[in-house]
Amino acid sequence: MAKRPSTPTLEVIARYNVCPPPNSAVPTSLPLTFFDIPWLFFSPTQTLFFYEYPNPTCHFLSTTLPTLTHSLKLTLQHFFALAGTVVLPPDSSAATPQISYDHGNYVTLVAAESKGDFFHLSGNHQRCVDDFYPLLPPLPSSFAAASKTKQEIPLLSIQITIFSNSGLCIAFSCHHVAADARTFNNFIKTWASISRDPCFLIKAPPFYDRTVVKDSYGLHSTFLNQWSNKKSSLAIGSNNNITTVLNVPESEMVRATFLMSPAHMEKLKQWIISRCNLTNKPHIPCLSPYNLTSSFIWVCLIKAQGKVSGKLFGKKASYFGFNAGGIIRLDYPIPTCYFGNCIGFARCMAIESELCGEDGMIVAANAIGNKIKELNEAMFKGAENWISDWEVFYGGDESNHVLVMGSPKVDLYDTDFGWGRPNKIEEISIDNYANAISFTESRQVKGGIEVGLALPKAKMDAFTSFFTQEGEEWKRGAHRDTTRKVLEYL
């Protein structure tokens, strides 16, 4: 088991209902677009920002907390929709779910104090996942099943936890149906800027006009029908997720972060190119840092799964899922400050035994690269299957599929509330999936990617072994046939 301090205690200090300033926002209804509807099937994104804060709790309560609360209020006059709700129509209604803001809507802000070890929690090493859950603000985890009356689900809640004389954690629970990473980044950067300078003027306020999204392929009705057919299986509540809960006690799950450096990526890239030349294989498309990192993590996770299960690698398919930004791929313009989702769903496949063979990196990179190329050329090819394709990622711990959350292109580490850049950013919602990983730009290494994982202890140890061993071989340029080494573990 990962080394951990004694179970930390947390005390709630205060609760606030933070509204936009009076008369600063008018009641608004935003229909969900086809980009938004698939996210009705997902539990909230849960992101933690850890900041060093060498001040006592009394200083936080008298100075910092009032500033954060007031600046949040000012920020919500622009991002007022986040104070609203998702309105789910009655089961008998043909109406579309929508985001609604009205006077009196608010964002719940919880202030708390923890006796835990700030520097332990904000590290990269293995830590028990259940140590992080007290830091999360409450928010209904998924959208409700059929009801005779309409239901209104809050979109955002925030918790700020003080670790006296050491640090702060600002935690967000936000339903992805309201905002993709780009929109969320615009919100949190605006809040941080106003917190540093109350006179800060936002240059590009959120753009709320949903008519800029063109549904040329009839995806809205397709996705809405799929939502209507499946929503009866969804359950609302803080402990009920739409995903299959892993058959592993939380106390046996650990979280860790791994760094993919540009030097590591370049070694991988050059080996792939050389290997393709040597074997007369076509060159891999889109050998970007994202693809190289994804491919390496995919291979290491499948090998770790095999080591822990003790099963030989066969012809079983392994799927790799990720999101693709839409703004740069659409053939019509959408403002970068558009409020809402503008990302597509992507899924590619490879065979387990091929991923773990000598050319496993080539197999993985080719699958991901070709999918990225396809998205660049025709983003909506097969888009009617976005929802059904992603059902494979809801499996339990024996699943051999991998799902990526987050993006290294969103500069979250530049979020400065006045205490400098975050020490660490953690994506907690990956805990809901068997092999989910989070991508964040590296805080320490320019061009690097931080990869976050939450796995059972045995699988994390196996993954760490493969990541470290093979990473060292790539750096030395001495990568050999990996099949034999994998079989030695079994």
Express each pLDDT in 192-238 by its tens digit. 999 999 999 999 999 999 999 999 999 999 999 998 887 655 533 33
The pLDDT value recorded for residue 239 is 35
* Average pLDDT, integer, range 54-80: 97
Q: Does the annotation mark 414 as catalytic?
A: no
Is residue 247's pLDDT more than 80?
A: no
The confidence band for 72, taking pLDDT boundaries of 50, 70 and 90, is very high
Task: Give the β-pairing of 107-114 and 156-163.
Answer: parallel
Q: Which of 71-75, 275-279, 365-369 is predicted least confidently?
A: 275-279
Rounded to the nearest integer, the mean pLDDT of the chain is 89
Query: pLDDT by residue (tens digit) across 386-398?
Result: 999 998 888 666 6
Query: pLDDT by residue (tens digit) across 445-461?
Result: 999 999 999 999 999 99
Determine what percent of the chain is predicted with pLDDT higher than 70: 87
Structure tokens of 216? 């040329």
Q: Does the annotation mark 416 as catalytic?
A: yes
Is residue 479's pLDDT more than 90?
A: no
- Distance, CA of 451 to chain centre: 11
Instruction: Evaluate whether 294 touches 322 at the Cβ level (below 8 Å).
Output: yes
Which entry of 91, 215, 416, 461 is annotated as an active-site residue?
Answer: 416
Specify the DSSP class assigned to residue 302.
Answer: H
The pLDDT value recorded for residue 396 is 64
The confidence band for 338, taking pLDDT boundaries of 50, 70 and 90, is very high
Is residue 436's pLDDT more than 60?
A: yes
Please give the full DSSP string across 74-91, using - where no structure is assigned. Answer: HHHTTSGGGGSEEEEPPT
The pLDDT value recorded for residue 91 is 72
Backbone angles phi, psi at 399, to 5 degrees: -65, 140
The CA distance from 122 to 257, in Å, is 10
Is residue 300's pLDDT more than 90?
A: yes
For the chain, which domains are there?
A: 10-233 (3.30.559.10), 253-489 (3.30.559.10)
Is residue 487's pLDDT more than 60?
A: no
- What residues does 156 pair with on adjacent strands? 174
Q: The pTM is what?
A: 0.92
Structure tokens of 239? 């402990």
Query: pLDDT by residue (tens digit) across 24-36?
Result: 999 999 999 999 9
The confidence band for 243, taking pLDDT boundaries of 50, 70 and 90, is very low
Structure tokens of 206? 């959120």
SS3 at position 436:
strand
The pLDDT value recorded for residue 228 is 85
Which entry of 176, 220, 264, 401 is annotated as an active-site residue?
Answer: 176
* Average pLDDT, integer, range 309-330: 90
Name which residue leads in pLDDT, 247 or 15. Answer: 15
